[in-house]
C-alpha cells in the first residue's frame, strides 16, 4: 500500500459545480498536511495547509480526519481556472518530517 493515495481522476465537472477530493495516508504518526495545485508542466504551488480543526480559504475548504487517516479538499463554485492537478502532501514524524506527495488528482472544469 502506498503511503499517500489519491484518486488520479480526471474529475470532469461543469462551471459552478462543487467537487471534493480525498487523500488517504498510511502513517498514523503524520503531523502536517498540505494541498498543492500544479498546472501542466509547472511547479506545484501551495494552495493551503490543512489544520486539525479544518480551514477555509474562499471557495476552498480543507478537512483532516485523523481517525480515518485522510484529508479532503472541497472546491465550491468551480471556475475554469481551477482546472489543474491537486496534490496532497503528508509530513510524517519520526524525527525527520519526511514529506510524501500523492500522485495528484486531475480536475477539468468545463463551460
Partner 1 sequence: EAEVAQSPRYKITEKSQAVAFWCDPISGHATLYWYRQILGQGPELLVQFQDESVVDDSQLPKDRFSAERLKGVDSTLKIQPAELGDSAMYLCASSADRDSEQYFGPGTRLTVT
Using CB under 8 A as the binding rule, whether residue 12 contacts partner 1 is answered as no
Residue 18 vs 28, nearer CB to partner 1: 28
Contact of 82 with 107, CB cutoff 8 Å: yes
DSSP 80: G
Q: Of these, 22, 26, 32, 55, which contacts partner 1 (CB under 8 A)?
A: 32
Under rule CB under 8 A, residue 87 binds partner 1: yes
| Residue 42 touching partner 1 (CB under 8 A) | yes
Going by C-alpha positions, the residue among 29, 30, 22 that lies closest to residue 5 is 22
90 binds partner 1 (CB under 8 A): no
State how far the Cα of 103 lies from the Cα of 88, in Å rounded to an integer: 8
Amino acid at each position: 500500500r502506498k503511503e499517500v493515495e489519491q484518486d488520479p481522476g480526471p474529475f470532469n465537472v461543469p462551471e459552478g459545480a462543487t467537487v471534493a477530493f480525498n487523500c488517504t495516508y498510511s502513517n498514523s504518526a503524520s503531523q502536517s498536511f498540505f494541498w498543492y495545485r500544479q498546472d501542466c508542466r509547472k511547479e506545484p504551488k501551495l494552495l493551503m495547509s490543512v489544520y486539525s480543526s479544518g480551514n477555509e480559504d474562499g471557495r476552498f475548504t480543507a478537512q483532516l480526519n485523523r481517525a480515518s487517516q485522510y484529508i479532503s479538499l472541497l472546491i465550491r463554485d468551480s471556475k475554469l481556472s481551477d482546472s489543474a492537478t491537486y496534490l496532497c502532501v503528508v509530513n510524517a514524524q519520526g524525527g525527520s518530517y519526511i514529506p510524501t506527495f500523492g500522485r495528484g488528482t486531475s480536475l477539468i472544469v468545463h463551460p
